[in-house]
Amino acid sequence: MRIAIPKGRLQERALSVFADAGYDIPSESDLKTRKLVFDRGGIEWIFVKDGDVPVYVEHGAADAGIAGLDQILEHECTAYQPVEFPFGHCRMMLIAAPGAPPLTKVATKYPRITRQFLGLRAVHAEIVPLSGSVELAAVLNLTSHVVDLVETGETVRIHKLEMQEVVAEISPRLIVGKNFYRTEPKMVRELIARIEEAAKVSS
């Protein structure tokens, strides 16, 4: 079984859930190396960018993984989502510069989700894709609005931006590839049962 773990803010909690579920995870000293693939107890652990987890699972390069709903939606990932985790919750928000004009231009790391959100509201706006520091686009008047994740809201407050509307409630999920689910049902059932139990403990 190959499991994709997201590097970044979810990595530590993702690994701790698998450890609590009794899986032999890579050690801290392993993680300090530059290796991205580790074999432990019959499981191959791969460490990839958070946005790549749904892609690896969707295309069968990984059997399962942990991904935020933001990345699942953005990549239109059709993998099963049997477990939602109690940690890492945040909101995807439409955020505006103070006194912003009507929405005509919006910056985001999530162009597909933003396009769908605007389409449901019959709003026609230019979408400017960015890969980091999205709020800065509103601060520096690159765009009047941004769509981004908000966890504590501190960045929004510091720059005196205005949260206008919730685009989506975001949480991390265990995702399981459809082909793996079909070909290894017993292994999948055990994985889901163990992760569900571990998720309850960590809540």
Convert 16-67 into a string of H (helix), E (strand) and C (coil). Answer: HHHHHCCCCCCCHHHHHCCCCEEEECCEEEEEEEHHHHHHHHHCCCCCEEEE
What pLDDT does residue 203 have? 60
What pLDDT does residue 144 have? 95
The mean pLDDT of 22-34, rounded to a whole number, is 90
C-beta separation of 110 from 103 below 8 A: no
Check pLDDT > 70 for residue 16.
yes
Q: Output the average pLDDT for the chain.
A: 94
- Rounded-to-10 torsion of CA 76, 77, 83, 89: -40
Check pLDDT > 90 for residue 202.
no
Pick the closest to residue 66 from 151, 23, 6 (CA basis).
Answer: 6
- β-partners of residue 148 are 93
d(CA 30, CA 203): 27
What pLDDT does residue 195 have? 97
Check pLDDT > 90 for residue 196.
yes
d(CA 123, CA 110): 16
- The whole-model pTM stands at 0.91
d(CA 200, CA 203): 5
The Cβ of residue 80 has, within 10 Å, a number of other Cβ atoms equal to 18
104-129 pLDDT, tens digit each: 999 999 999 999 999 999 999 999 99
147-161 pLDDT, tens digit each: 999 988 888 999 999
Buried b (16+ CB within 10 A) or exposed e, 151-175: eeeebbeeeebeeeeebbebbbbbb
What pLDDT does residue 152 have? 86
